Amino acid sequence: MRNETITPKLIADSIALQSISERRAWVHNQTPEEIRRVANSWAFWARDAQKPPPGDWRIWLFLGGRGAGKTRAGAEWIRAQVKAGCRRIALVAPTFSDVREVMVSGPSGFLNIGEEDERPRYEASRHRLIWPNGAEAHGFSSEDPDGLRGPQFDCAGWMSSPPGPARRRRSTCWGWGFGWVKIPD
Ligand SMILES: Nc1ncnc2c1ncn2[C@@H]1O[C@H](COP(=O)(O)OP(=O)(O)OP(=O)(O)O)[C@@H](O)[C@H]1O
Ligand SMILES: [Mg+2]
C-alpha cells in the first residue's frame, strides 16, 4: 500500500481489528506527541454516521439514541467549518443553559475537543465563543426566538435537541434528533 493512501480512518479501522494486547503494544510504541495528536484527531475517531453527508445539503438531521455521538458530531462539524474559514456561527439550543452545559463545556463541547491551542474561549456574559483565528459563535435559546433576528451568520447554524416532542422524549432511551443548517450565501 502506498504511503499517501494511509489515512487516520484506515489506521483506526486496522487498530479496531487488533486484540487488546496488540492495541496496547501500538499505544506503547507511539510518542506522547503522537498519542496527543491521535486523541484529538476527529478523522481518526469519527464513525461514518458522524460524518457530514456528501453533496450540496442545506440541513443535516442526525437522529440517534442516547450517547450516539450527536453532540460530538455537531461540534466537530462546526470546528471543521471554523478551520475552513467560517467566521460567525449560531448555536441554537432549547435553553441558554443547554448551550453552555452541552455545546460549550460538556464532554463533547467546544472547550473540550480538538487541539488545545485551537480551542475557543467562552464569554459567558455574552453567550459567545471566540476562536484564536477570530471566528465567533453566538449562543441562542429557543425560548427567545426573536433573539435570532438581527445578527448575521456567514455559514453555519446548529440546533441541538429541538423543543417539542423530540425534547419531551429526551429522557427516554431512543430517538431524539438534532440538526445542522448551512446558511446559504
Ligand atoms: N466517534 C467517537 N469516538 C470516541 N468518542 C466519541 C465518539 N463520538 C462521541 N464520543 C464521545 O462519547 C460521549 C457521548 O457522545 P455525545 O455527547 O456526542 O453523545 P450524544 O448522542 O450527544 O449523547 P446524549 O444523548 O446524551 O445527548 C462523549 O464523551 C463524546 O465525546
Ligand atoms: Mg448530546
Which pTM was predicted?
0.85
Mean pLDDT of the chain: 83
Residues with CB under 6 A from ligand 1: 45-47, 50, 64, 66-72, 107-108
* Mean pLDDT value across residues 135-151: 85
Burial class (CB in 10 A: 0-12, 13-18, 19+), 110: buried
Residue with cell 485551537: 118
Q: Ligand 1 centre and the CA of 67: distance in Å? A: 5
> Is the confidence at residue 172, as pLDDT, over 60?
no
pLDDT tens figures, 38-65: 889 999 999 999 999 888 888 888 888 8
Query: Which ligand 1 atom is at minimum distance from the Cα of 161?
Result: 27
Query: Which ligand 1 atom is at minimum distance from the Cα of 47?
Result: 1
> Is the confidence at residue 154, as pLDDT, over 50?
yes
122, β-bridge pairs: 129
pLDDT > 90: percent of the chain: 46
pLDDT tens figures, 73-102: 999 999 999 999 999 999 988 889 989 999
Query: Pocket of ligand 1, candidates 51, 108, 171: which has the most ligand atoms within 8 Å of its Cβ, to mutate?
Result: 108
